[in-house]
Structure 1
Amino acid sequence: MASASRRVEGICGGRESESMIDVFSKLPDQISHHILCLLAVTDLARFGCVSKRCRELCLSSPKLNLDEFSSVNTSTCYKRLELFTYLDRFLFRRGDNKIQSFRLRWYRHDVCEGEDEEAQCVCDCCASFRLFTWIENAVRCNVEVLDVAMNYQDEEERFLFPASVFLCGTLRHLRLHLNCTVLKTPLFAFQSNLKILELKNVDIDDGGGFFKWILCCCKFIEELSLEHVCVTQEISVESSSLKILNCSGFFLIDKCHINISCEKLEYIRICWVFDSPRNKSLNMFAPNLKSFKWFGSLMNHSNLGKLELLEVASFFLEPTLDILDNIVEVFHSLCRAKLFMLNEATIKALPLKELSSRPAPLCDTSSLCIEIGSFIDELIPAMVSLFRAMPKLCTLCIMLNPPSGAPTSNASGISMEYWKLQNLAFVYQLKHVAIELCHGSNGIELARYIIEYAPNLQKMVIVYSSQDKEKITRELEKSKMISNATIDFQEKSIKR
């Protein structure tokens, strides 16, 4: 660039050549910092070597990304230690300049073939101290967003995460994806300004103080995510501000009793799988809940309370015996949902007698999306009971997700006459339908029934595999001519 400027200087004046070189430096700090926020810290360091102005911008950048380190910097223990030393020096030179966002990614050093295994401990043994020092530096610089993900080589050793993070008054978003790390919140009361807290692969072993800290100190928290969190006490999530709760894969020693009391909670997602529902319960008070998603296993006792404002209920349960005994009490709490999303195991476990009762227990449901393996004969009666419980159904979506080894021979025993004899009220309300068809005629007969006997049907999308195209289009062509609805045939795309 310097040689180019000398060639240009003979034609243009010195002032013009200077402006060509220093365009970036003349930008306002806000725009410069926005550009620099897109750089990893190693690229930021290179930029800081260009000029004094660039160095000032580099050291005052409000967002730091300590991630995306290349193999040039991390391939050996010596290079990783050099990187440690550089980052120590870089953060020291920044001083107390405000850090708005601090992102840190650091993963253990995998031994390469031919590398001395004993030398690997040289860089990993000091990692926790150095990394926690950087985090405390970000806290000192009034960080607002702290995003940390790291692991260590020795998983038998447990590290205590810096408690100063929980005392940071400027922190708004805390995201920790760790392992071999224990969280211990301060015992004394103080006001935290956290709005979003995401925890993954951490140990909480502080005598229940963590959840008391959320209740007493986090008065503004709106989103809490606990994923693969190890706890030794009963879980009690109480908050007057929480709106979103994600609970996934708790690890407990013997029992699991979860209590949720959040008046403003609008969205909850639960995902866990247990060998046995014994000694496990869920008690919930969330009167303003709008979306409830549950994946995995049911508990021995589940009291969801009254969910009068529920709009979406998504239940994808595991095909285990505990579903049959425990789903009834869950079912009664979900009757107000406008949209239901269910998998095959859940449909089979639903109480058919209650679903077939009068009046229909799900009379407020207007949309249904189900995922099944195939239209086998054994599943059809359960689907009929489900349809009968939803007389106001306007939108229906049936997707296929066949497991390996699923039966294929018993999917052709249900005829068009069978569906006509059921006298299903929902068919007169249907407007939009999407159905995925495969082997067997059961699915085709259901599609025919809907096309010919749904007077208000506006559009139906039929998805098929390439090998079934000719058969499906031939079987439904006559029904298509009878209906005034738009029938859209779509070939299923093959996932690669």
Structure 2
Amino acid sequence: MEQPTKQKSVHDADDDGRFSDLPDEMVHHILSFLQMRDLSRLSVVSRRCRELCISNPHLDLSNIDLINSDESSRSRFYSFVDRLISLRCMHRVKTQTFRLLLSFVGGGGGGGGDEYRVATWLQHAVNMGVARVKLELVFDLGKPFDLPLCVLGCNSLRQLKVDAGNGFIKLPSSDFAVTNLQRLALGPVRIEKGCNVGELLSSFKSLKHLRLDKISGIKSMTFTSPSVETLLLTTYDEELCNISIVQEKLQDLFIYWSSKSGGKSLTINAPNLKNFYWAGSAVDYYNCMKDLPHLFNVGMGISFPTQQASCKHIFDKILHSIQRAKCLTISESFVEVLRKEGCLPFLFDNLEYLTVSRTSRGDQVLPLCSLLRGTINLKHLTVSCLSTRGFANVTNSVPSGEFSFKMGYWQSQNFMFTRQLKKVTMELFDREDEVELIKYLLKNAEELEVMEILYTSPVSSDLITEIRKYKKPSTKLLLCSTILYNKMRCVRPDHDI
């Protein structure tokens, strides 16, 4: 590959600064932090700087800093990019990474030929053997972006990510010859009627990671890619009714399917699945066509509309499909639905790690007990909260005198998992009930090594003294204060007692 000459003139000797002492790879990395305006200025400093700007294998283009600029500034930007690409083509500079962050709104565009210009730049990257392409395009609301055929048909391409912001990506209706694409992320994705997206994606024989965000436009979708190992799928479209996943090599499946209408169905045939996360709305039809003997991690956060008819048979199928999981994270709202539908207790004989995530202040004791009765081999139990609202004065939602969740209640459950339980993390939500459970576990968990108690409001010394009465000498008891900032949790250990 021919590169721009690196021979310096006498006039360039003092203009380069310290660039002359750095290897090209390091300088190229430094250049990746510059905006296009600064890069254009650097290119005229010296011949050496010009060569480095041209020979950079990582081409990063953005007009975001020019959104509020005048037409003359935007025109100079496009002229600079066109000239830079022309010089790269002349010197046959191989492009490893092509990133384009471009806005076509608020004055950021360059006129009616914006999409043609983008397609031209992409064609250049394809011709120069690009391996990774990342497009972040900001269009007018609802405007689609036609993904050029040259990109999906590029044999050198290994990774492709396209984010159309408020617009949509339109997939071509034709398939392709065998390419080497390994990672594909598209979203939001509008699929034209008549386009067989499953057949389209199955033409990528080397594809291992597939992410499709906010799919819309079709009623049914079947994934049959022979090589995909990771699939992430999100959709809010009411029109999409049927999703079928038939992938022999699939190991990681992430589904978020939110819909207010009924008549939805989900079919899974993935015998090598290891990690399965499903959130959103419950479906009316669910079928796991084969056992999942390799299943390890499962996350369940399915909501169940109150007006929807009973779906016990659906939930029974879901539970049987995840029965072999070793680690389970489940929302308390879904556990409550399972209990009310009569699906619990259910035997999770392989389950060793259980996390129950709370999202409300309702009665959590009965659902939690129903779930724990089926966990005979549990070693790690975590009960966490997703909200800090109402922590200060939370009371049991069950009327006084109707139920009593004191030590005697927990003793009467005869839980099997206490024989080998090793660690418990409990976030205080309903103080009275949870403290009783903590005392029960400290007293009855024979192999317990760590009890970690998380809280947001101060814990009284009387409560600490009461808990310590049940602590075995071999158990490490930790009290940690927690603070939630949006979705991030900060945990500060207070002391070990």
Q: Which TM-score applies when normalising by structure 2? A: 0.85
Q: Structure 2: how far apart are the matches of 1:226 and 1:323?
A: 30
Residue aligning to 2:329: 341
The reply on whether 1:315 has 2:300 as its aligned counterpart is yes
Q: Structure 2: how far apart are the matches of 1:199 and 1:228?
A: 9
Residue aligning to 1:50: 45
Q: Which runs of 4+ in 1 moved over 6 A?
A: none
Residue aligning to 1:419: 410
Deviations 1:110-152 (A, max 9, x none): 3xxxxxxxxx597454432322322222222221111001122
* Preserved CA contact (<8 Å) 1:163 1:184: no
Residue aligning to 1:7: none
The Cα of 1:394 is off from its aligned counterpart by: 0.5
Unaligned runs of 5+ residues in structure 1 are 1-14, 111-119
Q: Structure 1: how far apart are the matches of 2:30 and 2:281?
A: 47
Tell me which amino acid in the other structure corresponds to 2:99.
R
Residue aligning to 2:3: none
Identity of aligned residues (%): 27
Bigger drift between 431-440 and 183-192 goes to 183-192
Of the three residues 298, 311, 330, the one matched with 2:282 is 298
Q: Structure 1: how far apart are the matches of 2:385 and 2:175?
A: 53
Residue aligning to 1:241: 227
The Cα of 1:494 is off from its aligned counterpart by: 5.1
The Cα of 1:464 is off from its aligned counterpart by: 1.4
Q: C-alpha root-mean-square deviation of aligned residues, in Å?
A: 2.8
Residue aligning to 2:419: 428
Residue aligning to 2:366: 381
Q: Give the direction of change, closer, same or farther, for the CA distance of 1:471–1:136 in structure 2 (3 Å limit).
A: farther
Deviations 1:271-293 (A, max 9, x none): 12110232x11111110100000
Q: Give the direction of change, closer, same or farther, for the CA distance of 1:30–1:186 in structure 2 (3 Å limit).
A: farther
Q: Secondary structure at the match of 1:335?
A: coil
Residue aligning to 1:114: none
Deviations 1:330-367 (A, max 9, x none): 111010000110111111012575533xxx62111011
The Cα of 1:106 is off from its aligned counterpart by: 1.5
Q: Give the direction of change, closer, same or farther, for the CA distance of 1:101–1:270 in structure 2 (3 Å limit).
A: same
Of the three residues 206, 210, 224, the one matched with 2:210 is 224
The Cα of 1:67 is off from its aligned counterpart by: 2.8
Bigger drift between 226-235 and 326-335 goes to 226-235
Task: Name the count of aligned residue pairs.
Answer: 462
* Preserved CA contact (<8 Å) 1:40 1:64: no
Residue aligning to 2:200: 213
Tell me which amino acid in the other structure corresponds to 2:121.
W
The Cα of 1:483 is off from its aligned counterpart by: 4.8
Deviations 1:227-249 (A, max 9, x none): 01223252111122111000012
Of the three residues 331, 335, 344, the one matched with 1:355 is 344
The reply on whether 1:444 has 2:426 as its aligned counterpart is no
Q: Structure 1: how far apart are the matches of 2:160 and 2:433?
A: 51
Deviations 1:415-439 (A, max 9, x none): 1110011111111111011001134
* Preserved CA contact (<8 Å) 1:104 1:147: yes
* Preserved CA contact (<8 Å) 1:249 1:271: yes
Q: Structure 1: how far apart are the matches of 2:352 and 2:142?
A: 52
Deviations 1:440-463 (A, max 9, x none): 300100000001111110011011
* Preserved CA contact (<8 Å) 2:324 2:348: yes
Q: Give the direction of change, closer, same or farther, for the CA distance of 1:270–1:188 in structure 2 (3 Å limit).
A: closer
Residue aligning to 1:488: 478
* Preserved CA contact (<8 Å) 1:263 1:288: yes
Q: Equivalences for 1:135-146 in 2 at 5 Å?
A: 135-146=122-133
* Preserved CA contact (<8 Å) 1:411 1:441: no
Q: Structure 1: how far apart are the matches of 2:442 and 2:37?
A: 62
Tell me which amino acid in the other structure corresponds to 2:81.
L
Q: Secondary structure at the match of 2:79?
A: helix
Residue aligning to 2:59: 64
* Preserved CA contact (<8 Å) 1:272 1:295: yes
* Preserved CA contact (<8 Å) 1:452 1:479: yes
The Cα of 1:52 is off from its aligned counterpart by: 1.5
Deviations 1:155-198 (A, max 9, x none): 35544221111111111101011154443336354111100000
Q: Give the direction of change, closer, same or farther, for the CA distance of 1:290–1:158 in structure 2 (3 Å limit).
A: closer
Tell me which amino acid in the other structure corresponds to 2:354.
L
Q: Give the direction of change, closer, same or farther, for the CA distance of 1:492–1:180 in structure 2 (3 Å limit).
A: closer
Q: Give the direction of change, closer, same or farther, for the CA distance of 1:244–1:64 in structure 2 (3 Å limit).
A: same
* Preserved CA contact (<8 Å) 1:175 1:197: yes
Residue aligning to 2:135: 148
The Cα of 1:22 is off from its aligned counterpart by: 5.9
